[in-house]
Amino acid sequence: MAETTPTTAAAPRTATPEQFKLRMRRYDPESGDAPYWDEHTIELEPHRSVLEAILQARDRFDGSIGIRCSCRQAICGSCGVRVNGEPALACHTHLDAALKSSADGVIEIEPMGNMPVIKDLIVDMDAVHWTKIRRVTPWLIAKQPVPEREYIVPRESMIDVTQTMACIQCGACVSDCLAMEVDPGFIGPAALAKSYRFVGDPRDDQQFERLNDLAQDPEGIFDCTHCFKCVQACPKDVNPMGQIMRLRRIAIDDHQIVDQNNGERHEAAITGLVRNYGLLHEAELIPRSYGGNSWFAKFTPAAGKELLSSLPVIVRGLLRGKLNPRIAIFGHKIPSDDLKAVQAIYDKVESRDRSSGQRYELNLYIVGEDEQ
C-alpha cells in the first residue's frame, strides 16, 4: 500500500457489548477462610480485555476484588494472572479468546502459580520472582575503561539483547515453570532471561564469570527441563527458554565450561545419541551423561552410581508403561534413509556454526522480513 487510498473507514469492528461470566478465585487472608470462587456477569465488547472485565466487576459489584494493575497495555507487568488455567496478563487477553478457551463458558481467573497468594489475584512476587532476579547479579558490570562517549557495539547485539530487555517482569513464566514446581530453588526462566541480557551485552565484562556461576549452580541453566511452558506463557515474546539455551551454548562452545552438574555432558550425550541412532537411546543416556560420551561409559563408577540411584525412577517408568524395555535397552531403529537425513541436519548445522561463526539458533529479536 504505497500510495494513500481514500479511506472510507474500512468496515469498523462490530462493537456491541455482550455479557461474559467471570469466575474469580478469591482469598481474604484476614477471614481465616479458605479460598473460594466468586462469579460476576459483566458486559463488554468481545475484543476488550479480561482486565477491563475484572475492573468492571470491581467498579460495579465488589470493590474488594484484589488485583494489581496499571497501564492496561501490557507494558507495566502488574496484572499477571491465570486465565482458564494458563498464565497471562489480564490486560492482554481478549474476552472472546478467553471465552473460547474456557471449559464451561465461564472465564476462570486465578492468581499465578509458584508464588504465595497474598489476597485474591495478588501474589507475593518479591518472595519468589524478585529474589530470583537478584540472584543473577542483575546489573551491567561495565567493561573498563568507560569510554568518553557511548560504547561502540554492533547494532545487531543491541537489538538482540533488547529481546530480553523487553521482559516486563510480570511473572507469567515463573507462574507455570514446571522445573520450578519440582525444584522451587530453580533460578527460573525470568531471571535466567535477565542474565542473558548481560551475557549477550558486549559492554559487560563478566561473561565467563556469569556463565560459570549459572552453569555450576545445580539450580542454574542446566536445571531447565526444556518444556516450553515459559515460551508459551510470555506475553512479550521474550522466549525465556530460548535464552537459557543460548546461555548453555555460549557456556559450552565459547567458554568450554564443564559443569559439576553434568549438564554439559548430559547435553553432549543426548545430541550424540540422536546423531548415532536418529532417536534418543534411553538406556545409554545416564551412563554417557555421567561416564563420558561412549559405549564404554556404563562401566565407569560415576555412571554405575547414578544408574543405581535412578533405579527406582526407571522401575516406576517401566511399570507405568512410559518405557518399553526392549526399545529402551536396544535403542530405536529408524530406516537408514531417515537416519542419514537426521545426520545431514547435524552436518549442516555444525558446518554452518563453524564456517560463519554465527550460531544457528542465534535468534534475533527482529527477524528481518522481506521488504514489501
Partner 1 sequence: MPAHDVLIIGAGLAGQRAALAAAREGASVAIMSKVHPVRSHSVAAAGGINAAISVDDDWHSHAYDTVKGSDFLGDQDAIEVMCSEAPAEVLHLEHIGVTFHRNGKGEMDLRAFGGASMKRTAYVADITGQALLHVLYEQLMKHHETVERYEEWFTTSLLQDEQGDCCGVIARDVRSGRMEAFTAKNVILACGGAGQVYKPTTNGLIVTGDGIAMAYRAGAPLMDMEMVQYHPTCLVETGILITEGARGEGAHLLNSNGERFMEKSAPNKMELASRDVVSRAEQIEIDEGRGVGPGGRGIHLDVTVVPRKRTLEALREIVNLGKDFAGVDITREPITIRPGQHYIMGGVKTDVDGQTPIDGLYAAGEVACVSVHGGNRLGANSLLDTLIFGRRSGEHAAARAASMPMPAIDANAQLRRDAEAIDAIIARPREGRRVSEIKNELGELMNEYAAVFRDEQGLQTARETIARLKEETRNAWIDDRGTVFNQDVLGAIELGYMIDCAETTVLGAIERKESRGAQFRTDHPERNDEQWLKHIDITLSGDGPQVSYSPVTITQWEPEERKY
Contact stretch for partner 1 (CB under 8 A) within 11-19, 285-293, 305-313, 322-330: 11-19
Asked if residue 99 binds partner 1 (CB under 8 A), the reply is no
* Closer to partner 1 by Cβ: residue 12 or 321: 12
* Closer to partner 1 by Cβ: residue 166 or 307: 166
Contact stretch for partner 1 (CB under 8 A) within 35-43, 135-143, 222-230, 251-259: 135-143
Contacts with partner 1 in 167-226 (CB under 8 A)? 168-169, 197, 201, 203
Nearest-approach distance from CB 58 to partner 1, in angstroms: 8
Asked if residue 272 binds partner 1 (CB under 8 A), the reply is no
Asked if residue 92 binds partner 1 (CB under 8 A), the reply is yes
* Closer to partner 1 by Cβ: residue 119 or 249: 119
* Closer to partner 1 by Cβ: residue 335 or 368: 368
* Closer to partner 1 by Cβ: residue 2 or 308: 2
Query: If you ran DSSP here, which 8-state letter would residue 290 be given?
Result: H
Beta-carbon contacts of residue 173 (< 8 Å; ≥ 6 apart): 87, 188, 189, 190, 193, 229, 230, 233, 234, 238, 240
Nearest-approach distance from CB 135 to partner 1, in angstroms: 11
Nearest-approach distance from CB 103 to partner 1, in angstroms: 24
C-alpha to C-alpha distance for 166 and 301, rounded to whole angstroms: 46
* Closer to partner 1 by Cβ: residue 202 or 272: 202
Query: One-letter amino acid identity for 311?
Result: L
**Contact criterion met (CB below 8 Å) for 114 and 170:** no
Task: Transcribe 78-124 into DSSP letters.
Answer: --EEEETTEEEEGGGSBHHHHHHT-SSSSEEEE--SSS-EEETTEE-
Task: Transcribe 20-49 into DSSP letters.
Answer: EEEEEEE--TTT-PPPEEEEEEEEE-TTSB
Beta-carbon contacts of residue 83 (< 8 Å; ≥ 6 apart): 50, 90, 93, 98, 101, 107, 108, 109
# binding residues, partner 1 (CB under 8 A): 76
Binding test (CB under 8 A) with partner 1, winner from 159, 311, 341, 349: 159
* Closer to partner 1 by Cβ: residue 242 or 263: 242
Binding test (CB under 8 A) with partner 1, winner from 32, 312, 335, 368: 368
Contacts with partner 1 in 21-80 (CB under 8 A)? 28-30, 47, 58-60, 62-64, 66, 68-78
Other Cβ atoms less than 10 A from the Cβ of 362: the count is 13
Radius of gyration of the chain (CA): 25
Query: If you ran DSSP here, which 8-state letter would residue 253 be given?
Result: I
Q: Is the dihedral of CA 233, 234, 237, 243 positive or negative?
A: negative
